[in-house]
Amino acid sequence: MKLISCNANRPLAEAIADHLDCPLSNAEIKNFADNEIFVRINENVRGEDVFVIQSTSKPANDNLMELLICIDALVRASASRITAVIPYFGYARQDRKTDGRTPISAKLVANLIAKAGADRVLTMDLHAGQIQGFFDVPTDNLVAMPVIEKDIRTSHASDDVMVVSPDVGGVVRARNLANRLGVDLAIVDKRRPEAGKSEVMNIIGDVSGRHCIMVDDICDSGGTLVNAAAALKDKGASGVSAYVTHGVLSNNAVKRIEKSVMDEIVICDTIRPTEEDFKSKSLRVLSVAPLLGEAIRRIANNESVSKLFD
């Protein structure tokens, strides 16, 4: 087995390598003066089972091209099997036509990865589960729920916890966590009464006196979580925290969260946190390296990946 890290999230790749006790292979990935990407694998991979670790996060296009070119280099170097390990799959929110004459970019990216030569894809918490069907190669979609559940049990053991879905679309995810924790579920129903009017938040469930834990797959600008937290506090919640798998955190999202009524936001390291993220007192980072590492080990040994979540 060989592990190769591109440049999007090398600390996560190093943590995965440490978990597997398998050093990262020597690969040179750099940009020419005109920003074209160059990849050279500096060790023999002929006949090897190779795992390429790369999130397609910001800058999404550069990181995607790094992944595609690295896969192509491995194909031409006669690797036996190539698995694209994509902790965060960019373009996942463009998974359907939202209007006339718009693309389904998630399917396009899936085609590119398969066409480049990936034999398998390993990813985590896809924005929509059906994106697995966009790939023409076997795809494993891990969930960060075991990591999140463990942290909640440790950090909020003394709290009267209630799980909250910040929007109707995330109810299945929130219900799954609530069932694992054995606690109640509430839902934030947001809607605009008419164009140009601010959102109206309706809380389905009694949150009075409860510590509300919102769970979501992606936090981009943070607006949904910040507004939902304010609505929960207005309804009497004693505290509000948020757990998010992918911390995109664009457009000053961290500062927006720091100024909100949220006690904290906890993100996973599928996307490399910035120095500003680490300095924030309102943000914590959980590592999914052991989970990804165990999934990689099972794939390499032709064992069941789904058993991880039984």
Token code pair at residue 257: 């969260």
Annotated binding site: 34-36, 93-94, 127, 167, 192, 216, 220-224
Among candidate residues 58, 107, 190, 255, the one labeled active-site is 190
Annotated binding site for Mg(2+): 127, 167
Cα(72)–Cα(224) distance, integer angstroms: 39
Cα(140)–Cα(225) distance, integer angstroms: 28
* Residue 109 and residue 64 in contact, taking contact as beta carbons nearer than 8 Å: yes
* Residue 205 and residue 185 in contact, taking contact as beta carbons nearer than 8 Å: yes
Cα(206)–Cα(115) distance, integer angstroms: 50
* Residue 266 and residue 55 in contact, taking contact as beta carbons nearer than 8 Å: no
Annotated binding site for D-ribose 5-phosphate: 192, 216, 220-224
Annotated binding site for ATP: 34-36, 93-94
Q: 273: which residues sit within 8 A by CB, 6+ positions away?
A: 247, 267, 283, 285
* Residue 52, H or E segment: strand 49-53
97 is an active site residue: no
Q: Which residues are catalytic?
A: 190
